[in-house]
Amino acid sequence: MGAIRVAYPIGMDPDAPIGMFDSGVGGLTVLHATLVRLPHEDVVYLGDTGRFPYGPRSQDELIAYGRELTGILVERGAKLIVVACNSATAAALPVLQQESPVPVLGVITPEAHAAVQATRLRKVGVLATEATVNSQRYVEAIHDLDAGIQVTQVACPGLAESIQGGEPYSERTLELVQLACVPLREAGVDVVVLGCTHYPLVRHMLQRELGTEVHTITAAEELAEEIAATLARKGWQRGDDHRGEYRFLATGDTEAFREEGTRFLQLPIGDVEHVPVADCL
């Protein structure tokens, strides 16, 4: 799919929904924080479960996916797009921001800012997918704020899949967590960015391996604050008299999305609409 070519009317309806997408159900951790922070806003969430996982994908693939998913959400009237996926943010955010007719926010910058603020030793760890680590976007974002911080990145192939696959607390997941935390302990980091929206579901496992003195940072709360600030700055907030609604789209099996997603969202998931995309027809 080429560049996003959806025309948008001048001006913005504050009652329009927020659009959010992720490679699967991990971004529901961001959705949950957004629903808590912005209870009056409607949100349309699109899970690209038919092409999950994103970690092994190339940058060109992720840009193409990001364009397609952004286009779907814009066509459904989104006033703001949230890329609730670290791999997609790392690969595609600048392109999406240039091409989208509405603002596009991603997960990396808010987390990088929080990490820089939190570290005392100026040693920050990043746990992420292969695609995110290879992009070097976290290193760049952190060094833009403080070039003296030592950043230790660890790719975690298979971890997001193990978490989303129905048994997030399995022996396999624990083995992957333990393996990933070894280089972070050796590097002496005091802050670790959980650079995939699936990872907060096993935050307690990670914390046990890292130690209580290490502060872990997730995208959810940080990004929800950026969404709120962006809407306030543009005057696009929905009125307080409205109770926000959320609805779901998925490119893969809708029943599997409902089952897996409930664990991440910690709220009921009703109907899920199937949306066909390029590689999932």
β-bridge pairing 123-128 and 191-195: parallel
Q: Among 99, 260, 52, which Cα is nearest to 167's?
A: 260
SS3 content of the chain, % helix, strand, coil (to 5): 50, 15, 35
Strand partners, 250: 47, 274
Looking up tokens 């999932």 gives 280
> Which residues, including other chains, have CB under 8 Å from residue 93's CB and lie 6 or more apart?
66, 83, 104, 106, 108
Q: Provide the 3-class DSSP secondary structure of residue 242.
A: coil
Looking up tokens 């192939």 gives 157
Residue 196 known to be catalytic:
yes
Q: Of the listed 85, 156, 181, 280, which one is catalytic? A: 85
User: What span, in angstroms and rounded, lies between the C-alpha atoms of 104 and 114?
Assistant: 20
Alpha-helical runs (H) found in the chain: 28-37, 59-75, 86-99, 108-118, 130-135, 137-145, 159-164, 171-187, 203-210, 219-234, 254-265
Instruction: Say which DSSP state 239 is in.
Output: P
Residue 85 known to be catalytic:
yes
Q: Among 8, 30, 14, which Cα is nearest to 86's?
A: 30
User: What span, in angstroms and rounded, lies between the C-alpha atoms of 92 and 186?
Assistant: 32
Tokens at 204, concatenated: 């307690």
Tokens at 69, concatenated: 């998913």
Could you list the active site residues?
85, 196
